[in-house]
Structure 1
Amino acid sequence: MTEIFGYARVSTTDQDLRIQEDALRAAGATVIRSEKKSGTTTEGRDELETLISFARSGDTIMVTRIDRLARSIADLSKIVQTLESKGIALKATEQPIDTSTPAGRAFLQMLGVFAEFETAIRKERQLEGIAKAKAEGVYKGRKASIDADQVKALAATGMGASAIAAQLGIGRASVYRYLG
């Protein structure tokens, strides 16, 4: 008997998975795996890995939108290739994607291109915003987590890098960076 498995994903912990899970149930998913992980890589996405390893030939893995599955062409291609090699179809509830048909596979590839483009544009805008904020003196980066004066003062007393690192709870490489 073939199964329909649902996969829901959001990027941040403050986002809600319920809307995706409800849509997947309504579309016939009997088992749904969900996680709150970035879609820019498949690394560390244990629920997706579990789902792919559990599904069998003839089964379907369903997502609401393709960007819930992957944000890069490389990751999307790898996932689709893995599913196809196992005889598993991929469908989306909000897009005409069904890898069991040629048209569905073509549409999937087009959406993958747009998802990767969107990620690249977002990153570009973010970098532009940071550069502008730096130029205006608004953005100064992350606050230093190590007190450089304290590192130098301890070194001036003759304390070694390992001892300084242990006392301040930092890495020895950080001590050398401040003393270098």
Structure 2
Amino acid sequence: MKIGYARVSSTGQDYQTQLDKLQAAGCKKIFFEKQSGKSADDRAELQKALDFLELGGEGWTLVVTKLDRLARSMNDLTSITSKLQKNGVGFIVLDQNIDTTTPTGKLLFNILGSLAEFERDLINSRCDEGRRAAKLKGVQFGRKAKLTDEQLDALRADVKAGILSMQAIADKYQIARNSVYRLVGAKESA
């Protein structure tokens, strides 16, 4: 069974053209909404369509007119199509001639997915290079230390003196007890 999904972004737009194409493609049920496509999680009708497809499962197909009607980011697209694939549901994009129910369609979709993954890897690599360069320039990452060097020395002296319990030391310096153990390099005993 073919299930259609149509979406427009604003109230000034009309999805009748999408509905006509989906009906012509043989969709037995069509979910449609006027909603921004920024995140799949914010689209109630899309979630209903995906839930409906999950009930049908193997042999059913989700049909959209254009890829950007379903997802605006590669993360959303990958997430949605992974769920479909896991449930044996096909995926057709009418205007781009993508049909994952055919070997050629699967190939095309996987090539597009691979290109997106390659792009993501390049972005991650550039971010890593930027972080390394910033560290070389002395930029400190992470949150600022809660204790000064003097307070840390005093904390270690308190632990060495053995007068206060670890919890009392933690309370004194307003830190967690496990932080006291971490800062002095001792192992916490239960």
TM-score range relative to shorter protein: 0.5 to 0.7
| 1:138 matched residue in structure 2 | none
Does structure 2 conserve the Cα–Cα contact (< 8 Å) formed by 1:65 and 1:94?
yes
* Residue pair 1:66, 1:111 contacting (<8 A) in 2 also: no
**Cα contact 1:66–1:108 (8 A) shared by 2:** no
Tell whether 2:16 aligns with 1:18. Answer: yes
Match of 2:72, SS state, is: coil
Contact in 1 for aligned 2:41/2:47 (Cα 8 Å): no
- Compute the displacement of 1:111 (Å): 5.8
Is 1:27–2:33 an aligned residue pair? no
What is the distance in 1 between the residues matched to 2:7 and 2:99?
Answer: 19
Query: For residues 40-51 of structure 1, what are the structure 2 equivalents within 5 Å?
Result: 40-51=38-49
Q: Stretches of 4+ moved more than 4 A in 1?
A: 109-114
Decide which structure has the larger Cα Rg and report it. 2
Give the 3-state SS of the residue equivalent to 1:35 in structure 2: strand
Structure 2 residue identity aligned to 1:73: M
Gaps of 5+ in 2: 120-190
CA RMSD of aligned residues (A): 2.0
Q: Whole-Å Cα distance in 2 between the matches of residues 111 and 39 of structure 1?
A: 20
**Among the aligned pairs, what percent are the same residue?**
42
Q: 2:35 aligns with which of 33, 37, 49?
A: 37
Question: In structure 1, what is the Cα distance between the partners aligned to 2:37 and 2:112?
Answer: 15
Distance 2:110 2:91 in 1: 12
Which amino acid in the other structure matches residue 74 of structure 1?
N
TM-score normalised by L of structure 1: 0.58
Q: How far apart, in 1, do the equivalents of 2:73 and 2:96 lie?
A: 17
Report the CA distance between 1:84 and its aligned residue.
0.3
- Structure 2 CA distance for partners of 1:108 and 1:10, relative to 1, 3 Å: farther
After TM superposition, list the pairs within 5 Å mapping 1:17-96 onto structure 2.
17-55=15-53, 56=56, 57-96=58-97
The letter for the 2-side match of 1:77 is: T
Give the deviation of 1:107 after TM superposition: 2.9
Q: Is the 1:42–1:75 contact (alpha carbons within 8 Å) kept by the matching residues of 2?
A: yes
Q: Aligned residues, how many?
A: 113
CA displacement at 1:30 relative to structure 2? 1.1
Structure 1 residue 39 displacement after superposition: 1.3
Query: What is the CA-CA distance between 1:102 and the residue it aligns to?
Result: 4.0
Corresponding residue SS for 1:43: helix
Q: In structure 1, how many angstroms separate the alpha carbons of the residues matched to 2:60 and 2:74?
A: 23
Amino acid at match of 1:100: T
Q: In 2, distance between residues paired with 1:83 and 1:110?
A: 18
The amino acid of 2:83's aligned partner reads: T
Length-normalised TM-score, structure 2: 0.55
What's the offset of the Cα at 1:95?
Answer: 1.4
1:55-85 alpha-carbon deviations (Å, 9 max, x no partner)? 1221011000111000111000000000000
